[in-house]
Structure 1
Amino acid sequence: MFDHVKFGVSDYAASKAFFLKALEPLGVTVAGEGQPSYGVELISPNSKASLCLHQTEERPAHLHLAFMAENRRQVEAFHRAALEAGAKDNGAPGLRPHYHANYYAAFVIGPDGHNIEVVCHEPEA
């Protein structure tokens, strides 16, 4: 759907550490990095799309970022890792049948107040 998403963060080091830890269960790693004003590019295995973070003093509106998980275990692992990385819980892992029967997701609020979601659309294995 997209090539990359880039957004500013108020504390580059904290946000980089948060996203790497919280998204580790999805296999996300650093693809490239420059000065904090340029930022870091994060990518998951077998993906061409990336997430880029950069240092800024601007206060943009909060984002809702949803990452795709291969299975429900990854959703649960993300939620645990994100909370360990300092996120605030915004919805424990579970089914959200109001979206569709197999919508299994977890939500957290990241360092800059962004709503970070990991979702699996597959039925339970």
Structure 2
Amino acid sequence: MTTTQPDFTGSRIDHLNIAVPDLPAAVAFYEPVLAVIGIVTMMTVPASDELPAMHGFGWPHKPYFWLIADGTVGSNMHLAFTVDSREQVRLFHRTALAHGATSLHAPGDHPAYHPAYYGGFVVDPHGINLEAVTHTAES
């Protein structure tokens, strides 16, 4: 029997907003952590009568991950970022720990998900379970 690797390219999610209680602290954490996997600040929106302050990260054409000021983080929140290599998973994990995250699962294989699944999990300073994952077998 021949099995094929699932196609994990692309996403149908346009953007994701996460409310945090302390926007400046969240930005200070996420900027260096996301930068190591190629996701950068693209836009900030100051608070107004209509909207809370917001900070948008993305690449290459638009922000797709937004931190929203003055909110409450939901329970059991998990966010995984796809990266290109196992080294990027390890770098994401190390950088997150250096900026205040706690380790949930050290970078490693997770064959229960599929044979090439390699991820590293942390909990950010606001309690969000973050992961960097690659779906590429080690070469």
Deviations 1:39-98 (A, max 9, x none): 1110034x6561000112435334100000011110000000000110010010000011
2:22 counterpart of 1:11: yes
| Matching residue within 77, 80, 91 for 1:66 | 80
CA RMSD of aligned residues (A): 1.6
Map of 1:44 onto structure 2: 59
Q: Which amino acid aligns with 1:92?
A: A
The alignment of Structure 1 onto Structure 2 pairs a total of residues equal to 124
Map of 1:24 onto structure 2: 35
Runs of 4+ in 1 over 4 A off after TM superposition: none
The answer on whether the counterparts of 1:26 and 1:44 sit within 8 Å (CA) in structure 2 is: no
The answer on whether the counterparts of 2:73 and 2:128 sit within 8 Å (CA) in structure 1 is: no
CA distance in 2, matches of 1:118, 1:111: 16
Seen in structure 2, the aligned counterparts of structure 1 residues 5 and 59 have a Cα distance that, compared at 3 Å, is: closer
CA distance in 2, matches of 1:48, 1:26: 16
CA distance in 1, matches of 2:118, 2:45: 35
TM-score normalised by L of structure 1: 0.91
Instruction: Give percent identity, aligned residues only.
Output: 35
CA distance in 1, matches of 2:15, 2:131: 17
Map of 2:5 onto structure 1: none
Structure 1 unaligned regions, length at least 5: none
TM-score normalised by L of structure 2: 0.82
2:134 counterpart of 1:123: no
Seen in structure 2, the aligned counterparts of structure 1 residues 23 and 57 have a Cα distance that, compared at 3 Å, is: closer
CA distance in 2, matches of 1:83, 1:16: 15
CA distance in 1, matches of 2:89, 2:73: 29
- Give the match's secondary structure for 1:23: helix
- Give the match's secondary structure for 2:96: helix
The answer on whether the counterparts of 1:3 and 1:48 sit within 8 Å (CA) in structure 2 is: no
